[in-house]
Every structure is written in C-alpha cells, then in structure tokens.
Amino acid sequence: MFYKEIICLANSRRSRGRCVAGRDIKTNEWIRPVSSGETLTLEQIKFKDGSIPRLLDIIRIPCKQETPIFCQPENILIEKGVWENLGRYDKKIENLCDHPKSLWWNDKPAQDKIEEEFLRKNKVDQSLFFIRLDSIIIRKCSSLEYGIKTRAIFSYNGIKHDLGLTDLDIENEYKEKPCGDYRLNTKQIYLCISLGGPFKGYCYKLAAGVIRI
C-alpha cells in the first residue's frame, strides 16, 4: 500500500456513486482514484468525521496500484482505509491550470463525446483538464428520455462547448430553479473537465467540478 496526497478538483456525481480527481500535491500530476468497481461509493470517500471531500481540499488517499485504461491513464486503484483531510489548498489556483489547445478532439461546434473505438486507437495522454474561463452558462433542461439535466455552456479557445455537468454542488444549487439558462456572476471561474469511461460506444466529456472565486 502507498498513499497519494491530492488537491481535490472534482467530486462529482456518477452512476451509482462518485468520481473524485485531483492533482498530486507534490508532482502536480493528475490522479483519479477508482475502486475495484471503478465507481467510488460515498462510504469509500468519507473522512473520519463523516464529511466528504470538497473542491480544493487536500486529501490523503490509501492506494493499491496504478490501473490506467485507454481513456483514463490517471486511474489508481484505492486500498481499504479512511481518507484523510489535510486542509485546504491556499496557493494560486492558476498554478493548477492546464492550457490545452483543445479539449481533446473537436468538431465545430465541439461534440460532447468521442467514439470509444477511436479512443482505443488514439489513446489520450490525459483525461482530465483544469481550465480557467471568462464566463459560463449553467443550463437546466429536461427531456422525455433523460429527465432533468444540468449542462455547462462555455467557449474555450474560440470553440463552443455544451457538456453534461456532474458537479453536485451546482446541481443542488439549481435543483429548485426552473429550466433555463443561468450565467454565473463571478470574475474567476475554473472548470475541471473529465473524459468519462466507455458508455454505449462513447466516452463523454463532462464538467466535473466548478470553482468560483
């Protein structure tokens, strides 16, 4: 067993569980802790006092081994044990940012998913980005097929993106609001973008963490 200490940049909803990801406090490398079933349970990510990780918490996680897959090279299998909260990250958030030319492969307008077959032939170097935005719109919408959904609408390097939003704090904040578009009123917005695992032949780009300063 070994330990990883990460700055939490995503603690988002995932089918039947949670997805947590962040940067190694020492190396700045991306780490996505996963369980043997891939999805983390609420019990697995709890601290000793029963609370759960917040964005920008520094977390000490017991780990078993690296378990990269074709679309998520940062995956590390967790070991049994209690996660520890080491405090809050209080340095410049810009130090954590990525500056990719694009959010993986894009068409115009950018698609919110990439074919699994394509990714198996063209493996990604990283499946997580942390970027700064000038503005972002939270869209709450509904459909007969998917029910109520929350999405993140933003532009990055001149390309518009419309991604599923899985940040639980944002979802809860807009839970009682009517369907519509809501612009976040803040000067500094940071977004953690995650490439999800395979689902019905695709890997979806997800807005997994929103930090407002």
- Greater confidence (109 vs 152) lies with 152
Looking at the fold, whether 208 and 110 belong to one and the same domain comes out as: yes
Can you list the alpha helix ranges (DSSP code H) found in 2-102?
Answer: 42-45
Q: Domain end: 48, 70, 93, which one?
A: 93
The burial class, CB within 10 Å (0-12 / 13-18 / 19+), for 84 is middle
Number of domains in the chain: 2
Region 19-43 average pLDDT: 93
Q: Containing H/E element for 2? A: strand 2-14
Within a 10 A sphere around the Cβ of 14, how many other Cβ atoms? Answer: 17
pTM assigned to the model: 0.93
Give the C-alpha separation, 151 to 165, whole Å: 5
Looking at the fold, whether 187 and 161 belong to one and the same domain comes out as: yes
User: Each residue of 95-133: pLDDT tens digit?
Assistant: 999 999 999 987 766 789 999 999 999 989 999 999 999
Q: Domain end: 48, 67, 93, which one?
A: 93
Give the C-alpha separation, 85 to 66, whole Å: 22
Give the C-alpha separation, 83 to 91, whole Å: 22
Instruction: Give the model's confidence band at 185: pLDDT under 50 very low, under 70 low, under 90 confident, else very high.
Output: confident
Residue 85 sits in a domain whose CATH number is 2.40.50
Within a 10 A sphere around the Cβ of 203, how many other Cβ atoms? Answer: 24
Give the C-alpha separation, 46 to 69, whole Å: 25
List the domain range (segments joined by +) for residue 36.
2-93
Looking at the fold, whether 40 and 126 belong to one and the same domain comes out as: no
